[in-house]
Amino acid sequence: MTGESAVIPESGIVVVDKPRGPSSHQVTAWVGNILGRRVGHAGTLDPQVSGVLVVMFGGAVRLAPVLLSHNKEYVCLMRLHADASRESVEQAAAEFVGRIYQRPPRKSAVKRNLRIRKIQEIDILDMDGRLVLFRVRCDAGTYIRTLCIHLGYAIGTCAHMEELRRIRSGSFDETAAVTLHELADAAAVAREGEGEPLQRMILPAAAAVADLAKVVIRDTAVDAVCHGAVLAGVGVVGKEGGFAKGETVAIMTGRGELVGLGKGLVNSSALKPGEPGFVIAPTSVLMQPGTYPRGWKAHARS
């Protein structure tokens, strides 16, 4: 590792305030160029949509399946095609809270199969003539452009999406977002020896698993998990949150560091810290082997 690259962490998360214009792929590539790391993003935004774009770099890209599944929150400006009262708009919006059916738009990159998504909340913030400003909290993969069209049908006026901004993705909201210019400036001064501004912008991988159930493991078990060993109850010192067999679980150190993700081999109620029996099978390991002292013995082959 060169001295220049040493000032940039090997792995982490940056919440970028994506501007309107470039694609999510282009913005992510710029972040990769700024940091000098391989990158990935969680949740595509159309070029004309702004807001929270979660960019992972280094080993944190393995968290993509978790981040992609996070709920999203948007503020949308919708234009009605005819006059309508606020009461009728609010009544129609209330009908869309819950499970809805959607088909991806024709321009979408995915297959146009009918899908079910859940709308947790729609809040009409303001109306000015035929312009309707609303906030929506929804499942990942919900098409807000399609939601506007369907809302217009329900109101009886027809409608289309005028502007859209994502204000939250999972636990990451726009208050934590930084612009590309801010990130580039922070990386530049970090390479000159002042790393604090960049450190404030880069979040640890553990920030991505705030909503997941967790198991806390012994220091002596960390390196074994880093080598792909299935975790037994004797290596567990604690657990946070409940999980079912087969669900994804975050594997943590006692210091709050994310070792990786695993799949529950038992229900959380059956996991007894300190007792024998396999409990978690690692699926994605983020921590590098050797980070913690080796506390296990390899069996010699005969």
Q: Give catalytic residue positions.
A: 46
* CA distances (Å), origin 289, targets 32, 206, 219, 280: 24, 17, 13, 18
CB 279 within 8 A of CB 263: no
Q: Which two tokens stand for residue 231?
A: 């975790």
CB proximity list for 269: less than 8 A, separation 6 or greater: 242
The helix (run of H) or strand (run of E) holding residue 187 is: helix 180-191
Question: Do the strands 159-169 and 50-57 form a parallel or antiparallel pair, or are they unpaired?
Answer: parallel
CB proximity list for 266: less than 8 A, separation 6 or greater: 245, 277, 279
User: In the chain, count of helices (H) and strands (E)?
Assistant: 8, 16
Q: Which two tokens stand for residue 100?
A: 């809805």
Amino acid at position 218, single letter: R
Give the Cα separation of 36 and 31 in Å (integer): 8
| Residue 284: Cβ within 10 Å count | 17
